[in-house]
């Protein structure tokens, strides 16, 4: 079973007039794009600091999603898998105060905790494995992260078992905010809000904090940064921590916003691959590009699933929206090989 | 003969070929004979595909995650060429030209190579990371293409199509001499293609083409300065590699009897691509022999895990379907770990280990 990541969520769109429909779908596209933007930002920060494309990002997302699930529902790995756990009765008695918290608080705090944990996992991965690969060919490093992807996501699948789970979330799939004829799901509104907050915090950190300055300096010229007394190892660790944290946040938002609260392994794991075009489109070393690219991919994917899919369906090619981001990416790359905002690499022999 | 520098290597290679040819006849007498034959056939088919990927990634340095797509193209084109016209599967009839199996293999390879040449221009524009992501998109495009009802006559859309078994029957003969059954015939077909493919790859990499590939891999601008036509080298690498993948795919299609599009695209296809990448990494990047060693390792690993679990030596692993930590999950984790460990500690893979062992015994009991 696959879940259509880029398809519109509403079936009753037909009743809307064309402008309303465009607004409605653009909103859904922005919500999807917000999640893509968070994922792409994770790729970009890791790439900018360490020049590694992290194929294990999807696996980290998966890990974050399941940690949030366990923290909110109290279902510790293995065992139960159904909605029955929503009540939170699985927690030991000394955690009663946690269960008494409103679901919204629990969900939000769980995301923060998951972000910290996955951030630490990111640091661990960098320390133990990728640190040793500094200076090795790009090819080898990409393969290492692919190997990690397999190992981490299969481990997650083993620990939490592959059955579908229901994420208890503060936004039931049906709860919407209606403005005129346009329905906006609360899960989507929150996805966009969280994205804006996270992105603002990210840019503030990047621009004004000492660590942000260190990351930018290292990205610009690693040797010069080292000579100025910036510890490259700290920069790498911070970048991986931020990457991991962003993955966890994106995963936790993705489930209620796009999968109607059902945690299924494959869509979560491969949504990160769908966000690759976003990162590439904007330019793999440009945080602003990642956000722009994410929003572009999200909106165009949803719009294409509404207006291009029927055309291709008439030709008997269903599910066009699933390849659309990649086609868009290839099209743009052929004209701008470093993406929309990427730095053009000057290469010397 | 210059391929084999010493008399000793000629001797060993001759012995290997004799063993490979004799293997099915030996396997007939074994307990669970079909299991060993099937395993050997899969290894041969995978090694053909792995050699192709190694030409592209190991020699020309172009990272590709789209190998599964070319395998799929080969499987469906090969099946279309080699099945009889009236082939049907659950009510759907497919196109079939009824040509001999080797036409299917060559045709599958050729069409896959054409697709490779279409992707090639992207490789000329993009390098390294960007290329790996575009080829990743190819896997998703594969899912879109192979499962589309528009191509039902070729791919069988969602439910897949039928492929015809390999036959070695020549005109005027009732059945092929010595060969019993379809699986033995497929084994010999794969063996022939693998031997031809290995010799061709080894030969190609010794000459001008191979040097051009390696110069492109090591530094494409420097290569261009030295007079290598980098555009041509990258396109050729994609074409040749896709040809190998297509040929392997055609045989794989025969092996599966009912090749299904979604196994070559999407999430499943990505895993197939990663498996092939694992083969060349574990076997040894940039070596022809390494691709074969890697194929043996990657194909045999799940079976080894299954065997060890069956013997009760891995008490923490459940049998397939017996829990979430089952054999396939365990082998996938092992794949991932082996890729990481080999890249960290032995970048030349199994071939590197073999070199080390050989050099150790060469100088034994002295260290150097």
The span from the CA of B337 to the CA of B359, in Å, is 27
pLDDT at A6: 66
Round to whole Å and give the CA distance between A224 and A222: 6
Number of Cβ within 10 Å of residue A275's Cβ equals: 31
Element (H or E) spanning B246, and its range? helix B230-256
Mutant choice from A326, A327, A338, A340 vs B, greatest count of B C-beta within 10 A: A326
Contact in structure between B70 and B243 (CB atoms under 8 Å) = no
Q: Is B6 exposed, middle or buried (0-12, 13-18, 19+ CB in 10 A)?
A: exposed
For residue A13, pLDDT beyond 60 = no
Q: Which of A56-70, A73-87, A218-232, B151-165 shows the lowest mean pLDDT across its residues? A: A73-87
Cβ distance B343 to A140 less than 8 Å, yes or no, reads yes
- CB B222, CB B85: distance < 8 Å: no
Helix (H, G, I), strand (E, B) or coil at A178: strand
The 3-class secondary structure across B260-301, one letter per residue, is CHHHCCHHHHHHHHHHHHHHHHHHCCCCHHHHHHHHHHHHHH
pLDDT tens for residues A155-213? Answer: 888 888 777 888 887 877 677 888 877 888 888 899 999 999 999 999 999 889 998 89
Q: Which of A147, A157, A347 sits opposite B340 (nearest CB)?
A: A147
In a domain, B6, yes or no: no
Answer yes or no: do B137 and A158 touch at CB < 8 A: no
Q: How far is CA B197 from the centre of its chain?
A: 11
Instruction: Look at residue A84 in the predicted model and tell me its pLDDT.
Output: 43
* Torsion angle (degrees, nearest 10) of CA B107, B112, B115, B120: -120
Strand ranges for B57-168 from DSSP E: 88-89, 92-93
* Highest mean pLDDT of the ranges A73-77, A334-338, B234-238, B355-359: B234-238
Flag the least confident range among A166-175, A214-223, A319-328, B284-293.
A166-175
Taking CB atoms and an 8 Å cutoff, what residues of chain B touch A40?
A: none
What rounded mean pLDDT belongs to chain B? 85
Is A255's pLDDT higher than 60? yes
- The answer to whether B347 contacts A140, with C-beta atoms less than 8 Å apart, is yes
Assess contact for B366 and B308: CB atoms under 8 A: no
Q: Cβ separation of A280 and B133 shorter than 8 Å?
A: yes
Structural domain including B193 reads 38-164+181-363
Listed by number, the residues of chain B in 126-145 with a beta carbon closer than 8 Å to a beta carbon of chain A are 126, 128-130, 132-134, 136-137, 140-141, 143-145
Nearest CA to B50 among B203, B248, B202?
A: B248
Residue B325 in any domain: the answer is: yes
pLDDT at residue A61, as a whole number: 94
CB < 8 Å from A in window 141-200 of B: 141, 143-145, 147-150, 152
A78 contacts in B (CB within 8 Å)? 324
Minimal C-alpha gap between A75 and chain B (Å)? 16
Q: Is residue B368 part of a domain?
A: no
Residue A81 — very low, low, confident or very high, per pLDDT cuts 50/70/90?
A: very low
**Which chain B residues touch A130 with a CB distance below 8 Å?**
none
Indicate yes or no: CB of B132 within 8 angstroms of CB of A148.
Answer: no
Contacts of B30 (CB under 8 A, 6+ apart): B36
Gap from A185 CA to chain B (nearest CA, Å): 29
Q: What mean pLDDT comes out for the span A72-93?
A: 58
- Of the pLDDT bands very low, low, confident and very high (cuts 50, 70, 90), residue A80 is very low
Cβ–Cβ gap B129/A138 under 8 Å? yes
Across the interface, do A147 and B333 touch by the CB < 8 Å criterion?
Answer: no
Backbone angles phi, psi at A165, to 5 degrees: -125, 160
Quote the number of domains for chain A.
1
Instruction: Using CA atoms of A158, A160, A164, A167 in order, give the dihedral in degrees to the nearest 10.
Output: -150
Separation CA A275–CA A33 (nearest Å): 9
Does A135 fall in a domain?
yes
The predicted-structure confidence for B95-127, as pLDDT tens digits, reads as follows 888 888 899 999 999 999 999 998 887 777 776
CB contact under 8 A, B129 and A337: no
Domain that holds residue A153: 39-264
Confidence grade of residue B219 (pLDDT, cut at 50, 70, 90): confident
Cβ-based contacts under 8 A for chains A and B: 139
Q: Is A23 a member of any domain? A: no
Q: How many domains does chain B have?
A: 1
* Residues in chain B within 8 Å Cβ distance of A161: 324
Determine contact, residues A298/A304, Cβ cutoff 8 Å: no
Q: How large is the average pLDDT for residues A213-241?
A: 89
Residue B73's contacts (CB-CB under 8 Å, 6 or more residues apart) are B108, B111, B112, B115, B242, B246, B249
pLDDT for residue B320: 64
CB B64 within 8 A of CB B131: yes
- Give the nearest partner residue to A148 out of B136, B325, B340, using CB atoms: B340
Looking at residue A250, its pLDDT comes to 94
* pLDDT greater at residue B6 or residue B268: B268
**Is there a contact between A150 and B274 if contact means CB atoms under 8 Å apart?**
yes
pLDDT in tens, A267-281: 888 888 888 889 888
* B171 part of a folded domain: no
Domain-embedded: residue B116: yes
Average pLDDT score over chain A: 84
How far apart, in whole angstroms, are the C-alpha atoms of residue A86 and residue A164? 14
Q: Measured between CB atoms, which of B130, B143, B267 is closest to A333?
A: B130
Q: A277, A330, A334, A338: which to substitute to probe chain B, counting the most B Cβ within 10 Å?
A: A330
Measured between beta carbons, the chain B residues lying within 8 angstroms of A151 are: 332-333, 336-337, 340
pLDDT at A204: 93
Please give the residue that has the higher pLDDT: either B242 or A92: B242
Residue B1 covered by a domain:
no
Q: How far apart are the first and last CA of chain B?
A: 31
Partners of B278 on chain A (C-beta within 8 Å) are: 147
Task: Determine the Cα–Cα distance for residues B303 and B300; give it in Å rounded to an integer.
Answer: 5
Residues of chain B contacting residue A2, judged by C-beta atoms under 8 Å apart: 266-267
Q: Can you give the pLDDT at residue A244? A: 95
Q: What is the rounded average pLDDT of the residues B133-151?
A: 87
- Greater confidence (B296 vs A141) lies with B296
| pLDDT reading at B337 higher than 90 | no
Q: What are the CA-CA distances from residue B110 to residues B12, B116, B196, B263, B349 (Å)?
A: 33, 10, 16, 21, 30
Work out the average pLDDT over B12-21.
88
Which residue of A lies nearest to B134 if distances are taken between CA atoms?
A330
Chain B residues with CB under 8 Å of A348 CB are 221
Query: Residue A12 burial by CB count (10 A; 0-12/13-18/19+): exposed, middle or buried?
Result: exposed
Banded model confidence at residue A30, pLDDT cuts 50, 70, 90: very high
Q: Residues A263, A166: contact at Cβ < 8 Å?
A: yes
User: What chain B residue is nearest to A147 in terms of C-alpha separation?
Assistant: B336
Residues whose CB is less than 8 angstroms from the CB of residue B114 and which lie 6 or more positions away in sequence, other chains included: none
What distance separates the 2 farthest-apart alpha carbons in chain A?
A: 66
Residue B1 pLDDT class (50, 70, 90 cuts): low
User: Closest to B333 (Cβ–Cβ): which among A133, A136, A151?
Assistant: A151
- pLDDT band, very low/low/confident/very high, at A56 (cuts 50, 70, 90): very high
**Could you tell me if B298 and B342 are in contact, meaning their C-beta atoms sit under 8 angstroms apart?**
no
Q: Is the pLDDT of residue A312 over 80?
A: yes
Q: Report the residue of chain A nearest B130, measured CA to CA.
A: A280
Are A273 and B141 an interchain contact pair (Cβ–Cβ within 8 Å)? no
Contact B337 A273 (CB under 8 A): no
Q: Give yes or no for B69 touching A (CB within 8 A).
A: no
SS3 A285: coil
Domain-embedded: residue B29? no
Does B61 reach chain A within 8 Å, measured CB to CB? yes
Token duo for residue B125: 């524009």
Interface predicted TM-score of the whole assembly (ipTM), two decimals: 0.83
Residue in B128, B136, B337 nearest the CB of A138: B128
- Percentage of chain A beyond pLDDT 90 is 30
Residues making up chain A, counted from first to last? 349
CB of B63 within 8 Å of a chain A CB? The answer is yes
Q: Is A280 in Cβ contact with B130 (below 8 Å)?
A: yes
Least confident piece of the model among A155-164, A240-249, B220-229: A155-164
């Amino acid at each position: 079973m696959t879940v259509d990541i880029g398809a519109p969520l509403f079936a009753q769109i037909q009743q809307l007039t064309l402008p309303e429909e465009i607004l409605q779908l653009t909103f859904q596209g922005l919500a999807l794009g917000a999640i893509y933007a968070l994922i792409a930002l994770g790729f970009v920060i890791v790439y900018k600091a360490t020049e590694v494309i992290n194929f294990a990002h999807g696996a980290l997302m998966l890990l974050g999603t399941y940690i949030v699930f366990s923290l909110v529902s109290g279902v510790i790995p293995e065992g139960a898998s159904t909605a029955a756990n929503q009540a939170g009765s699985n927690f030991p008695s000394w955690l009663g105060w946690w269960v008494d918290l409103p679901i919204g608080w629990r969900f939000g705090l769980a995301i923060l905790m998951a972000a910290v944990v996955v951030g630490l996992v990111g640091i661990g991965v960098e320390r133990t494995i990728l640190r040793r690969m500094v200076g090795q060919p790009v090819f080898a490093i990409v393969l290492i992260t692919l190997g990690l992807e397999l190992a981490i996501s299969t481990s997650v699948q083993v620990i939490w078992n592959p059955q579908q789970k229901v994420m208890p979330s503060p936004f039931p799939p049906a709860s919407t905010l209606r403005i005129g004829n346009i329905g906006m799901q609360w899960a989507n509104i929150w996805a966009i809000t969280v994205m804006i907050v996270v992105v603002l915090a990210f840019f503030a950190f990047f621009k004004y904090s000492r660590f942000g300055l260190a990351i930018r300096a290292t990205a610009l010229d690693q040797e010069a940064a080292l000579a100025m007394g910036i510890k490259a190892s700290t920069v790498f660790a911070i970048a991986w921590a931020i990457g991991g944290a962003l993955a966890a946040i994106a995963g936790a938002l993705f489930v209620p916003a796009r999968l109607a609260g059902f945690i299924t392994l494959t869509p979560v794991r491969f949504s990160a691959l769908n966000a690759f075009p976003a990162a590439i489109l904007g330019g793999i070393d440009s945080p602003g590009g990642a956000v722009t690219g994410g929003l572009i991919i999200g909106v165009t994917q949803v719009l294409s699933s509404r207006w291009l899919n029927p055309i291709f369906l008439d030709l008997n090619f269903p599910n066009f929206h699933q390849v659309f981001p990649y086609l868009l990416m290839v099209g743009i790359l052929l004209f701008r090989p470093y993406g929309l905002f990427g730095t053009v690499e000057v290469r010397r022999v | 003969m210059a391929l084999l520098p010493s008399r000793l290597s000629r001797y060993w290679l001759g012995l290997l070929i004799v063993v490979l040819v004799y293997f099915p006849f030996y396997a007939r007498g074994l307990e669970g004979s079909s299991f060993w034959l099937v395993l050997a056939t899969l290894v041969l088919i995978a090694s053909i595909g792995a050699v192709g990927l190694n030409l592209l990634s190991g020699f020309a340095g172009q990272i590709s995650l789209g190998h599964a797509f070319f395998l799929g193209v080969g499987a469906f084109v090969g099946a279309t060429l080699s099945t009889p016209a009236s082939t049907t599967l659950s009510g759907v009839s497919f196109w079939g030209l009824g040509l001999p199996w080797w036409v299917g293999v060559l045709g599958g390879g050729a069409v896959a190579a054409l697709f490779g040449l279409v992707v090639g221009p992207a490789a000329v524009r993009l390098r390294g990371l960007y290329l790996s992501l575009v080829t990743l998109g190819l896997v998703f495009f594969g899912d879109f293409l192979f499962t589309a009802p528009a191509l039902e006559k070729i791919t069988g859309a969602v439910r897949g199509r039928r492929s015809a078994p390999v036959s070695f029957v020549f005109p005027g003969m009732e059945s092929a001499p010595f060969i019993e059954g379809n699986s033995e015939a497929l084994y010999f077909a794969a063996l022939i293609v693998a031997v031809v493919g290995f010799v061709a790859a080894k030969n190609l990499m010794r000459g001008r083409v191979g040097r051009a590939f390696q110069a492109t891999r090591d530094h494409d601008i420097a290569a261009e300065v030295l007079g290598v036509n980098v555009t041509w080298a990258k396109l050729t690498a994609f074409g040749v590699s896709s040809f190998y993948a297509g040929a392997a795919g055609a045989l794989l299609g025969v092996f599966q009897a009912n090749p299904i599009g979604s196994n070559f695209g999407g999430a499943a296809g990505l895993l197939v691509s990663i498996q092939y990448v694992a083969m060349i990494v574990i076997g040894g990047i940039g070596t022809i022999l390494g691709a074969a060693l890697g194929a043996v390792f990657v194909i045999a690993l799940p079976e080894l895990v299954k065997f060890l679990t069956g013997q009760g030596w891995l008490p923490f692993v459940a049998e397939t379907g017996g829990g979430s930590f089952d054999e396939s999950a365990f082998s996938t984790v092992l794949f991932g770990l082996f890729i990481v460990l080999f890249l960290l500690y032995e970048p030349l893979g199994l071939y590197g280990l073999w070199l080390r062992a050989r050099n150790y015994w060469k100088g034994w009991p002295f260290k150097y």
